Chains A and B, each alone.
Chain A
Amino acid sequence: MSQDFLLSLAQAITKGLLTGMVYGLMALGLSVIFGVMRVVNFAHGEMMVVGMYLAWAAFDYAGIHPLFSLPVIALLFFGLGYGLQRGLIQPFINRPEHQQFLLLLAVATIVVNVCLAVAGPDSRGIQLESQFDSYELGPLVFDAVRVHAAIAAVVIAALLWLFFTHTRIGKSIRAAADNHMGALVVGLDVRKLYAITFGVGAACVGAAGALMITIIPVTPFLAAEYTLLAFVIVIVGGLGSMTGALLGGLLIGVSEAVAGLLIDPSLKSMFSFGLLIVVLLLRPQGLMGRKDSR
């Protein structure tokens, strides 16, 4: 292999890792929600797109950089997620999967089309100085926007980890996830914990949306693609596992970037769905999932 090739491979991998962090953050939301309440959020990509639109609007109207609007968006999404869980999803917690699926499909349909009606079908992007900036490390070049987004994603993931391991609510949520009955017995307000969990998951995906808009523009109909992408990531990483979601995000980010180099780019996504099938069959709990999460 030539030096040129190795260099472009290394370059592709670094870009993949950076984008993968944002993917990971997006998938984290899906994974947290499933891990705790066993509900698959089929409207996940749609929520992401709303996050992207909000960050775009903040930038376009008020010139607020997405990194600064991010905390506000995350907070807003926490509230939305909390309310959505309380109002809509809680009654469905113990209902069969296909009913949960239909409910969230309906939510997804409404969200996408509200985006269409309000923001129009045109692709909305933001122009940042940093989009033409880059950092150099030896022969490798790092895009500034991707570096910023990846750092932000790592920070948010770390905060989340602290929340789940060091706060009382976080620990209670994990307890409720591990043992629903037990949690009820010791008197935890499981409903409230579920609502908080959904809020946290939504905040993750909202934050991911704010970061994603710095990398690519948004249209309403990207949503379904993101939902599918989030699924692929969490299944590969392990549905319900936080580290799994991050790892899955990195893996898919890298494979997306490297595939263009190694295999026919037009067959690239076939490769990632193939990967999904293999993981489903051989290790359905995902790379980092626990056996019982199946």
Chain B
Amino acid sequence: MNKRALVGLLILLALLLVAPALLGGYGLSVLILVLYFAYVGQAWNIMMGFAGQLSLGHALYAGIGGYVAAGLYFHYGIGPWMGVFAAVSAAVAAGAVVGYLGFRFSLAGVYFALLTIAFGEFTRIGFDNWPWAGGSGGLFLKVERGVSDLANLRGGAVMFYYVILALAVGAFVLCRFLLESRLGRYWLAIREDAEAAQAVGVPVFRCKMLAVTISAALTALGGVWNAFYYNNLFPETAFSVGRSIEMTLSPIIGGLGTLFGPIVGAVVLTGMGEVFTDLSDQFHIPGLKQIFYGLALMIIVMYRPAGVWPWIATRLGFGEQRK
């Protein structure tokens, strides 16, 4: 990263810190969505962008994380800052199972992706039939007006904004650190050519396992945040394939394997979604927004297949390229 990029980054961070004072409720809620998708996108990017393993079942980790933390709070009054350890552990365990099976039996590409989908669906139906988690009727957290209780993550949008901002910044820093580390270089080697990496002594299996567990852990944190922000969980949405696919979009559109890709992708996609909603609201045709959205996705993947960020970065003279 060059100096110019660093200055840009600091200005951006400063703006984000004061954003709640500048934005209204609507602007803030959109920015929260941007940060959420940037954060889970960053987590997913570790799997796919760094280590080259296509997961289409990341809703599994977010769902497990959210359910565990919300369930502990709901049933035993255990706050999320404690519950998060259980949540992350559970998601890491799930990630380890998926990863172990997938990598041990050397599934790759579409086959690995389908395995992740299958596990997500499997879990969804399980939660549908699990009374502790509220079954298919859903799990609801109690909400109180005017409360701002950071210890239990109960409060208004501004609090959740700062929490997700902290998570997004933390994930960014962590990913940068990981990329620079030996592990990060191993991942890139595996992504480019797993067999060659194995041949030169990269511990391929262990590195892949680390990728899936770290990614699952980060995603689970996002899931916990999500559960406490929305205060309700349904297996049908929490574990849905659609939820998993949403998580993959920001990094792919933004620039797979880059640090800024998930962030830029989240800005582009969420912004696009809002503009298209406004646009299509004028015509009262249900589904029009999604048609626009689909067209935009198509155009981006056709003309900027490596993502939007690498293109912007070269234009603006920031150094980062896909490593």
Q: Hey, which bits of chain A sit against chain B, CB under 8 A?
A: 40, 88, 91, 95, 97-99, 101-103, 105-110, 112-114, 116-117, 121, 220, 224, 228, 231, 235, 239, 266-267, 269-270, 273-274, 276-277, 280-282, 284, 294
Contacts and interface: CB of A to CB of B under 8 A. Distances in A.
B299 to A, nearest CB: 9
B287 A116 contact: yes
A220 B111 CA distance: 27
16 contacts: A97-B109, A99-B252, A105-B297, A106-B297, A109-B291, A113-B287, A117-B291, A220-B287, A231-B114, A231-B117, A266-B125, A267-B125, A269-B125, A276-B118, A280-B115, A284-B107
A116 B115 CA distance: 30
A107 B294 contact: yes
B288 A113 contact: yes
A106 B128 CA distance: 29
B168 interface: no
A112 B298 CA distance: 15
Contacts, number: 113
B105 A109 contact: no
B286 A121 contact: yes
Among the interface residues A103, A106, A108, A112, which one has the most CB atoms of the partner chain B within 10 A?
A106
Given A98-B252, A98-B256, A277-B119, A106 B111 contact: no
A91 B294 contact: no
A294 B126 CA distance: 30
Given A103-B302, A106-B298, A280-B118, 7 more contacts: A98-B256, A106-B294, A114-B287, A117-B285, A276-B118, A277-B118, A277-B119
A127 B114 CA distance: 37
A180 to B, nearest CB: 17
B56 to A, nearest CB: 8
A97 B110 CA distance: 7
A282 B107 CA distance: 10
